[in-house]
Every structure is written in structure tokens, then in C-alpha cells.
Amino acid sequence: MTPSLTTGDVVISLTAYVLVYAIFVSFGIRYIYELLRAGPAGEAEPVPGVTPSRPLAYAGDAAPAERED
Amino acid sequence: MEPSTLALFWAAVIAVSILVYVILDGFDLGVGILFGTTDDEARRDRMMAAIGPFWDGSETWLVVIGASLFAAFPTVYAVFLGAFYLPVLLMLIGLIFRGVAFEFRGRSASMRRFWDRGFFLGSVIVAFVQGAAVGALMRGLPVQDGQFAGTAFSWLHPFPILTGIGLVVGYALLGAGWLKLKSDDVLRDWAAERVFLLALLLIAVLGSAIAVAMTVDISAGLTEAAGRFGTLGFALTAIGFCGVLGVLASARGPSDSLPFDLTIAVFAAAFATLATLMWPYMIPYELTVADAAAPEASLRFFFYAGAVALPLIAVYTIGVYWIFRGKSESP
């Protein structure tokens, strides 16, 4: 127990943390949503000698995310 | 009561970590503060690039300080967090905002101003509450039976407010010195000009803080500190003051590293002065190193953890600064 800590202090700090993280998480979700809406920037070139059953073989050729602006 | 060797070891670890933290996070918080004083987008991008590889590593040292206090000096940790509950909350929110803004500002078009503002305000708040905490510690905290016995606003007085502003200016000075060191042409000259102005401002703010401590905000802690101010304290203060004069003289000079190096010397001298005023107390003038130390068995256990973790942190910190030495690349 911390004797100097009052209920008011705890309510203020909990509310502040919830608000701050709510702001960041909502922007994060919006950003991911916009990336998904925009979709890949271009079609990946076929990689010789690799089949679609090994999708990770394409990972290095994935199109980089576009900047929003 | 004399502190044990292990207690002295952990006190030294915390002291060194605080000084390293203040210098390393100081310059990147300082760049964040200067960031808010310009609207030039290209300049802002270059300022970000100058701290890009370094800024999040600096906060490791804050974690080292917190963890070492918690483990080795739990009483100090309890008093400190009780006394600075709201300032520490503000500091954490400021640090979180800074970190997220750093990543988001480059990816947002419509909200870019919001993140830029968050980066600036976060930096200012973190610097202010750290400075205010030092001022409030020196001013004296109400402690009874090894526990903080004040309220959430016991720290708020004229002297801590001025030391808070003083650290905002001090960090901005470190940041300006860093920008002069890491950039060239236009930004370099802009930073050199800021070094000069901020060094003058620092003298003015610290002068006011001392004046306030001797007039309107006299406290038991500050009176005791003044009584402990001896030859060593005077010599260290003189070194610090000469350092500020050196910063003023070298601000616009040909050397890109001298203003930053001298600013580090000023911070080290100020830190050493504080240490002489505080020793052997950790919470002046209530809890000594020996009073607050955890049991020997705990200190010994943590010693093995520290013997692994601390050299590792030191090595990668040195590694990062070595790899990214020289002028930073334009974004």
C-alpha cells in the first residue's frame, strides 16, 4: 500500500492511460485499414522455380507499403 | 550507519545511469523541443534523421534507473513514485506520444500537424517534469517513517517550476549542439545560432532559480543544501559556469563538436554539484544510501543480473554511436 496515493490519483491516471492508448490504437487500426483498402501497389513478378504452395518464397518480392500522401 | 559495498555499487550504477540518460535522452528530447520552434518541413525531416538511430536506445537508461532503484533501493523507489505520481504519469504519456508521433508523422498527410505537435509537446513535458522533480527533491519532500507523506501536488512550487524550465532549456541546448555536430550547411548554422541563444537563456533561468530559492521559496531542504555548499561545490559550479561561457564562445565557431562536448561538461559539473549536496542521502535529507538499501542477499542476487545486463547495454550503446558516427544522412 502507498499511503499517499488517493483514489482520485488512480482514477486520473487510469483514465489518462486508457485515453492515450485509445487514440493510438484507433489511428493504428485506421492506418492498417487504409493500407488494406489501397491493396498491393503492383503485381509481383513470378519467381522462377517456385510454386504458389510456397508463398513465403515471394516474401522478399512483396510490394513495399505506399506512403499515404 | 555505513553503506555496504554492494549498496555503494548499486548507488554508483544508478548515478552513472542517470548521467548517461540525461546526456543521451537529453539531446534527443532537446531536438524534439527545437523541432517545435520551426515550421520548415525539410528542416524538420533533417532534425528527425539526426536522432533517428539513437533516440529509442536512450530510454533504455531510464529503464535501468527505474529497475535498479526498484531492486536495490525499494524505499527510495516508493517515496519517489509516491511524491511524483502525476509528474511520472505525465512523463510516461509524453514519452509514449513522442515515440508514436515519431513513427506516425511520416505516414500521415492529413494528421501530420497533430503528430508534429505531439512530438514537440511530448518532448517539452518530459524535460519539464524531470527538471521539476530534481528541484522538488532538493527543495525537500515530506517523508515520515520511510514513506512519502504529502499529496499529489507537494512537488509544485516556484523553485521546481524554474528547474523544470531550466531542464527544458538545458536539453534544448544539448539538442542544438547535437544538430550542429550531426548536420551541415543550413541546419548547422541554424543550430549554431540556437546554441548561442539557449546558453544565454540557461544562465538567465538558472540565475532566477537560485534567486527564487533564496527569496520567495525558502525551504528546509534548500537551506540545508546551501549550508553544504563548500569548496568542492564551489569549484564544480565554477567549472560548470566556465563550461557555459565556453559554449557561448564556441557556438558560432568552426568546431562542430566543441559546443556539444562543452554542454556535456556543463551537465556533468551540475550533476556532480548535486551529488556533493546530496551525499550520502538519496532523498535529501531524509533517506541515506544505507537506510534505503535492500537486504544484502537481494543486492548480491541483483549483482549477477547487473553483471550480465549492464555491460551488454553499454556495448550496444557504444556500438550504435560508432556505426552512425559522423554527419547524419539527409532523409
- Cβ contact B82–A24 (<8 Å): no
The yes-or-no verdict on residue A63 having pLDDT over 60 is no
Average of per-residue pLDDT across B227-250: 95
8 Å CB contact between B188 and B179: yes
Rounded to a whole number of angstroms, the distance from the CA of B86 to the nearest CA of chain A is: 8
Residue A65 pLDDT grade (very low, low, confident, very high; cuts 50, 70, 90): low
Would you put residue B85 in left (φ > 0), alpha (ψ -120 to 50) or beta? alpha
- What is the rounded average pLDDT of the residues B248-254? 94
pLDDT of residue B159 exceeding 90: yes
DSSP A2: -
Q: Do B96 and A24 touch (CB under 8 A)?
A: yes
Domain contains A14: yes
CATH topology of domain B12-323: Formate dehydrogenase/DMSO reductase fold (1.20.1630)
Output the nine-digit C-alpha cell for B77: 523507489
What's the whole-number average pLDDT of chain B? 94
CB atoms within 10 A of CB A45: 8
Q: What is the pLDDT of residue A50?
A: 66
Q: Which three cell numbers stand for residue B247?
A: 559554449
Q: Which of B230, B275, B265, B231 is nearest to B245 (CA)?
A: B265
Distance from CA of B129 to the nearest CA of A (A): 16
Give mean pLDDT, residues B174-181: 96
Question: Quick one: closest CA in A to B111, which residue?
Answer: A27
Q: Is residue A52 part of a domain?
A: no
Q: Do B86 and A6 touch (CB under 8 A)?
A: no
Nearest by Cα to A5 from B70, B82, B143:
B82
Instruction: Say whether pLDDT at B108 is over 90.
Output: no
Residue B194 buriedness (CB in 10 A; 0-12 / 13-18 / 19+): buried
- Please give the grid coordinates belonging to residue B206: 538558472
- Residue B73: φ, ψ to 5°: -135, 65
| CA distances, B224 to each of B215, B219, B245 (Å) | 15, 9, 29
pLDDT score for A43: 74
- The verdict on a CB contact (< 8 Å) between A31 and B107 is yes
C-alpha B122/C-alpha B99 separation (Å) is 9
pLDDT of residue B268 exceeding 60, the answer is yes
C-alpha–C-alpha distance, residues B66 and B77, integer Å: 8
Count of positions (residues) in chain B: 331
Please give the Cα distance from B166 to B131 (Å, whole number). Answer: 7
| pLDDT the model gives residue B125 | 97
Chain B interface mutation, best of A1, A2, A4, A69, highest count of B Cβ atoms under 10 Å:
A4
Tell me: cis bond preceding B331? Omega within 30 of 0 counts: no
In a domain, A2, yes or no: yes
| Crossing angle between the packed helical segments A7-38 and B85-104, to the nearest 10 degrees | 10
Q: Which domain holds residue A20?
A: 1-40
| Average pLDDT for B203-229 | 92
For the segment A4-35, what is each residue's pLDDT rounded down to a tens digit? 788 999 999 999 999 999 999 999 999 899 88
Q: Is the interface score ipTM higher than 0.85?
A: no
CB neighbourhood size of A1 (10 A): 4
Q: How many angstroms separate the CA of residue B109 from the nearest CA in chain A? A: 5
pLDDT at residue B72 is higher than 50: yes
Nearest to B30 by CA among B129, B163, B167, B135: B167
Q: Does the residue A33 lie in any domain? A: yes
pLDDT of B79 strictly over 50? yes
Task: Please give, rounded to a whole number of angstroms, the shortest distance from the CA of A2 to a CA of chain B.
Answer: 7
pLDDT confidence bin for B26, thresholds 50/70/90: very high
In which band, very low, low, confident or very high, does the pLDDT at A69 lie, cut at 50, 70 and 90?
very low
What percent of chain B is modeled with pLDDT above 90? 86
Does A24 sit within 8 Å of B100, measured CB to CB? yes
Structural domain includes residue A56: no
Instruction: Say yes or no: B104 contacts chain A, CB-CB below 8 A.
Output: yes
Q: How many domains does chain A have?
A: 1
Helix (H) / strand (E) element for B205: namely helix B185-214
Range scoring the smallest mean pLDDT among B113-117, B177-181, B205-209, B327-331: B327-331
| Domain ranges across chain B | 12-323
